[in-house]
Amino acid sequence: MGVVEIDPSVTPARERNRQARTAWGLTAPALALMFLILLVPVVIAALLSFTNYSLGNSGFEWVGTKNYDRLFTRSTYEKMFIATFTYVVTVVPISVALGLGAALLVNALGRIGDIYKTIYFLPVMATLLAMAIVWEFMLHPTIGMVNQTFELACGTVLERIPFFANGCAEGFPLWLGDRDYAIWVICFIGIWQGFGFNMVLYLAGLTSVHRELYHAAEMDGAKSAWERFRLVTWPALGPTTVFVVTISCIRAFQVFDTVEAFWPQGGGPNKSTYVMMFAIFEKGVQQNLIGIGSAITMLFLIFVMFLTLIQRWLVERKVHY
Amino acid sequence: MARDLWKHLVLIIGAIIVLAPFYMMVSYSFKSPGEIDRGEGGFFGRQELMVDERCVKLRDPNRDEIAAVAAQYPGKTDRQIREEIMAVAETECSMRPVVFNYSKAFVEAPLLRYLLNGIIVTVSIFAIQVLVALPAAYALAKLKFWGRDAVFGLVLFCLLIPVHAIALPLYIMLAKLGLTNTYAALVVPWTISVFGIFLMRQFFMTVPDDLIDAARMDGMSEFAIVWRVMLPTAVPALLAFAIFSIVAHWNDYFWPRIVVTGSRDLFTPPLGLREFKGDADGSFFGPMMATATIIVTPLIVAFLIAQRRFIEGITLSGMK
């Protein structure tokens, strides 16, 4: 390269101006789409949640907080909240704990452990809807693999367990058709599908725990594996845990595929699995009750945003608890 | 080693539960309806020849057809001709259960079309995401301009909004524009990936300024810098993002379920499988499991080949 000639007309101010113009040009498409696809819909949902709008109607009326009142008074929506929170409160702690447990075991086994890592990650990759249909088949009351496996326990010591005693005498549960079991089946599939994801995040977190810390803890008298975990591993995984819990919550709130696959109408026996995403789909899209669907959407957004904000706040404080 | 035994034991029990549905899915895709009902035949089934009743029924000749071919069967009554035709049909319609299941998967529903739609949708989503996110990420990382912090703040805010959560208003907007039941409806909501912008911006921050200054000296425009200088440096990050994006949208069921109704031509693989399930009577579990296997396999195989990259890509969101 020769000597670079500096064009005297390019003053710093002009250069800044030019850069600003290109910068806005480069961000313009992204900005426009952010407004149109993310922000405008939130505003629309917020507005429509105060109306009785339906697609196809020319006009609509403002109904004040009637939609929200309904959400908090009708028993259908009470069931919706119960189903959603049952799911979140069950799936999040269990899938986080299993993810952590699996990560610790896999990590302790070194290279051989990788095979388990691969296996546990398979459900994360697999199309959930397809796997839901497979699970439905496995849970078939008579020819499903689950009940057939349980029947093998009949006549053995396992029959001492009340669950097996009942099952052998009166038949094992109907699972998806039973309102006492339906939500737990959905939870189980959620855990089955998601814990491998948490495991991988924890494995990444574990690589950043310094070996010297364990030595130091041992010097200080932390002899048992549990003490080392409590004093070194768990605090070091603090940031990972915050992240894993948040992302598990957000994913859990969005459960839909399994519910729709098992009960295309109505959200399960006695609406016991009527989760929020399904309610939005059913009310807003299928029944064209946009007002009520939008109100559920707004509550949903508030939950999710609230969770993420807590997470960011914790991360900024650099949690090490 | 002995100390590790209980660890293996626990992990193996976990692995059995995790793998059980995969085992069942693949196994049933090999078996005949009878074997599925009775729960026998091991993993592969016995693969005895079975007769496809529907195929035979379709070839049952009516009076006119028998009359048309009567010349080929001299001296035989219509009834005998029919029996002969049916005998041929029965042998030609018998096949191994595995062939039956997998051929039905493609014949009973336009599965190839679904797979093609899946590819079209996932690839266009990813391409547009990159096209939109990369320039923005470059500007946010490397250009100084008034309002940059505000734009970045907006990106951070938008990260709070999951697209699935605002599906209803998006659906209303698309319906008002008359865009439901189009490819556009399947792609448009995903064209903006704030996460992609955020991720690429973080990556570009680590690219040395000298590289960009040198390109400017060479007289490259900023636009050219994005695609000719920044894009090549970003390939590893983009690959991870591609996996993240493609896995999410190949497997997505919620959004396609909302905007595509009726028209099979637009079905993505999960929608196709769902419809198959809706139509299926009891004897169609085999073909249904074959369909499920076909839909799940591409990503699983890709994952097994490039495990590390996949895990990196899927857990990208963990890099925040």
The highest-confidence range among A10-19, B68-77, B89-98, by mean pLDDT, is B89-98
C-alpha count within 13 angstroms, C-beta hemisphere, residue A12:
1
Nearest CA in chain A to B252: A127
A216 to chain B, minimum CA–CA distance in Å?
A: 24
Q: Is the distance from CB of B14 to CB of A102 less than 8 angstroms?
A: yes
Nearest Cβ partner for A34 among B20, B158, B270: B158
To the nearest whole Å, the CA of A199 is away from the closest chain B CA by 10
Confidence (pLDDT) at B282: 55
CA distance B316 to A61: 45
| pTM as predicted | 0.89
Nearest-angstrom CA–CA distance, B16 and B11:
9
Residue B280 has phi, psi (to 5 degrees) of -70, 135
Cβ-defined contact of A126 to B155 (cutoff 8 Å) = no
**DSSP bridge pairs for B95:** B50
Topology, domain A66-316 = MetI-like fold (1.10.3720)
Backbone φ and ψ for B115, nearest 5 degrees, come out as -65, -40
Q: Which of B172, B245, B295, B299 to mutate to test the interface with A (most CBs of A within 10 A)?
A: B172
Average pLDDT over residues A264-284: 90
CB B198 within 8 A of CB B156: yes
pLDDT given at position B301: 93
Determine the distance in angstroms separating the CA of B123 from the nearest CA of chain A, rounded to an integer. Answer: 17
**Token pair listed for A143:** 């020819």
User: For chain B, which residues make up each domain, given as ranges?
Assistant: 29-107, 112-319
A269-281 exposure pattern, b = at least 16 Cβ within 10 A, e = fewer:
bebbbbbbbbbbb
pLDDT digits 0-9 by tens, B43-55: 888 777 887 777 7
Q: What is the mean pLDDT of chain B?
A: 87
Backbone torsions φ then ψ of A65, nearest 5 degrees: -95, 20
* C-alpha pair distances (Å), B229 with each of A92, B70, B207, B226, B235: 43, 75, 10, 6, 11
Average pLDDT over residues B310-316: 78
CB contact under 8 A, B251 and A128: yes
pLDDT of res. B66: 80
Q: Which of B31, B254, B260 to mutate to test the interface with A (most CBs of A within 10 A)?
A: B254
At which residue do the structure tokens 């990556």 appear? B203
For residue B299, CA distances in Å to A127, B251, B304 come to: 9, 9, 9
Q: What is the pLDDT of residue A318?
A: 63
Tell me the CATH number of domain B112-319, given options 3.40.50.10860, 1.10.3720.10, 2.40.50.140, 1.20.120.450. 1.10.3720.10
pLDDT beyond 90 at B122: yes
Residues of A with Cβ-Cβ distance to B258 under 8 angstroms: 281, 285
CB B315 within 8 A of CB B303: no
Closest by CA to B128, choosing from B180, B183, B190, B174, is: B190
The 3-state DSSP class for residue B201 equals helix
Question: From CA A265, how far away is CA A257, in angstroms rounded?
Answer: 13
Q: Which residue spans of chain A are classified as CATH 1.10.3720.10?
A: 66-316
